[in-house]
Amino acid sequence: MSPNGSALDTPPAGAGPDPIAARAHLLNADSVGTYRRTVIEGVDRVAARVATADRPFTGVSPEALAPLVAGIDLDRPLGDTAAALDELHDVWLRDAVWFHHPRYLAHLNCPVVIPALLGEAVLSAVNSSVDTWDQSAGATLMERRLVEWTVGRIGLGPGADGIFTSGGTQSNLQAMLLAREETHRRVVGGAAERPSRADVLSRLRIITSAAGHFSVQKAAKLLGLGAEAVLTVPTDAGRRMRTDELARTIARCRDEGLVVMAVVATAGTTDFGTIDPLPQIADVCAAAGVWLHVDAAYGCGLLVSPTRRHLLDGIERADSVTVDYHKSFFQPVSSSALLVRDARVLRHATWHADYLNPARAVEKGIPNQVDKSIQTTRRFDACKLWLTLRIMGPDAIGSLFDQVVDLAAEAWRMLDADPRFEVAARSQLSTVVFRYVPPGADPSVVDEANLHAREALSASGAALVAGTKVDGAHYLKFTLLNPETTVDDIAAVLDLIAGHASWYADTRSAAALACPVG
């Protein structure tokens, strides 16, 4: 019956889709044949595109692609898998950016290993939600085992724990949440008169380096601390946090009645691939009684490196650590985690709901992950890393990461010896920051020539490189995460960059001669 007491109307024939036909699209015991055929058809399309991609990008512009996407009527289904895949090709696959291509040299996007793709296919079909045991069963235990394995690699100790997250930004946010709550508890507990929460929060400060990730500032904003809560300390010539300045900043905060709630060190800065001096920073934090967070979203690949694990020495002294497996473990997005030295601090993310994780379930010892996470519904992304470790093993992953670090060192030497380019700080990981410098050119022309070269290269689709600013000047950046990229690839891309940049500089010079000022 309807709310007004009358029988609910049934739709007239032909007014909508056949319910039985609609149910045929659900994955169940009756549709496994359709599932298998449909997924294979999709995989075949992707495989064909990967096999034929002769460049990392087609160079398509937003203006060219937007009308095609906007013109699709999402209320009128195609009703056919092949037709839908044809359309998907036109609006996405044809012009997708291919991270597997050896001349994709732009951002922290890695090619992915096949065992992880197998995991992606399995986890999305089963669709476990890794928040409570009754939605995931063994997936809960597998994620916990991978967390245990990772904290063992870091060396955080037997009381450590963690949780998988969507990425480094979420991990850094949760780390700052935990640090904020622990610092608030300590300040209030040690005060002769209980200060208000607002008073404590207004005095909290986070310290990071000038080369740290922007997500630290974003976390402060989301946590209600304000932009002024993040203090940046300068870096040395190698773009690493200066520990003398860190100590001075902590002392200055105390003199001003401010409370340092966390120091964020970086193990693999996004621009320079540099690693802050972790042992010395840990010493400063220990002496000051300050929470140390290490953002190792990029540098976590060193945890499995057969040759470079020592570069992370000191990370075992952190209170919390961010790792992004989808950067340097060659995993598909998303696959990341936050690890903490003291499992008890994860209680700051806990909220009991009668329908989901009531306190009585905890008392019965029923495991769940939602008590540790700031997410509720959450994919079983740990499955990808699990299969990668079980099929390839950690040494193989570390070997792949070592190869790209070696390649970056070779690229740096190549650029340093090339008079056409100026190279910035040498990376400890796999980035190279540089710019084209035309002989005798005005600084503004140098900036514009490099900007033009990056845009022209992208428009051609022949290669993709990133850009950044160093001390206010525009630079280009290689982010090398593909072991299939060769020195010859890098040399060819440098020639393309020099060609585009020199054309721009020459054109500007010719225009200036033709139209002299005054």
pLDDT of residue 516: 59
In this predicted model, what pLDDT tens digit does every residue of 309-350 receive, in sequence order? Answer: 999 999 999 999 999 999 999 999 999 999 999 999 999 999
CB 238 within 8 A of CB 425: yes
pLDDT of residue 130: 96
**pTM attached to this predicted model:** 0.93
The C-alpha atoms of residue 263 and residue 265 are separated, in whole angstroms, by: 6
Q: DSSP state, 400? A: H
In this predicted model, what pLDDT tens digit does every residue of 211-258 receive, in sequence order? Answer: 999 999 999 999 999 878 999 999 999 999 999 999 999 999 999 999
Respond yes or no on whether the N-terminal peptide bond of residue 6 is cis (omega within 30° of 0).
Answer: no
pLDDT of residue 14: 55
Domains annotated for the chain, with CATH where assigned, are 129-390 (3.40.640.10), 395-514 (3.90.1150.10)
268, β-bridge pairs: none
The C-alpha atoms of residue 208 and residue 166 are separated, in whole angstroms, by: 22
pLDDT of residue 370: 94
pLDDT of residue 226: 82
- With CA atoms as reference, report the closest residue to 139 among 154, 151, 122, 156: 122
Q: What are phi and psi of 104, to 5 degrees?
A: -85, 110
Q: What count of residues does the chain have?
A: 518
Regions in the chain scoring below 50 on pLDDT = 1-3, 5-8
pLDDT of residue 409: 97
- Tell me the DSSP string of 238-284: TS-B-HHHHHHHHHHHHHTT-EEEEEEEEBS-TTT--B--HHHHHHH
The C-alpha atoms of residue 229 and residue 247 are separated, in whole angstroms, by: 17
Of the chain, the end-to-end C-alpha distance in Å amounts to 86
pLDDT of residue 513: 57
The C-alpha atoms of residue 318 and residue 345 are separated, in whole angstroms, by: 14
Fill in the amino acid letter for 159.
G
- Which residues, other chains included, contact 188 with Cβ-Cβ below 8 Å and sequence gap of 6+? 194, 195, 200
Q: DSSP state, 299? A: G
Instruction: Name the H helices within 155-227.
Output: 168-189, 197-202, 215-222
Respond yes or no on whether the N-terminal peptide bond of residue 334 is cis (omega within 30° of 0).
Answer: yes
pLDDT of residue 265: 98
pLDDT of residue 195: 85
Which runs of E-coded beta strand occur in 35-172? Answer: 104-105, 161-165
Give the other-Cβ count within 10 Å of 202's Cβ.
Answer: 16
The C-alpha atoms of residue 380 and residue 399 are separated, in whole angstroms, by: 26
Give the DSSP H/E element, type plus range, for residue 208: strand 204-209
